[in-house]
Structure 1
Amino acid sequence: MAETFQQRIQAAYLAEIEGAAWFAALLVRFGDDDDKHAKLQILQQLERTTAARLIPLIGAQQAQRLDCASAESRGRALAAQVDSWERLVQMLRGDLPPYIARYQALLREAPASERAAVEFLLAHELALQTFAQEEAAGRGAASLIEVRRLLV
Structure 2
Amino acid sequence: MSVLCSVSVFGQKTDSLASAARAKKINKTPQIKASVQTYKPKYSFGYVQYNDLVSNNKTSNNLKPEKILTVLKVYPNPVDDQVNLILRMDRESNLSVKIMDLLGNEIVTLSNERIAAGEQTKSYTIPNRLNAGIYFLKIMSGSETVVKRISVL
The TM-score with structure 1 as length reference comes to: 0.19
Give the number of the structure whose alpha-carbon radius of gyration is greater: 2
Higher helix share: 1
Instruction: Name whichever structure is richer in strand by fraction.
Output: 2
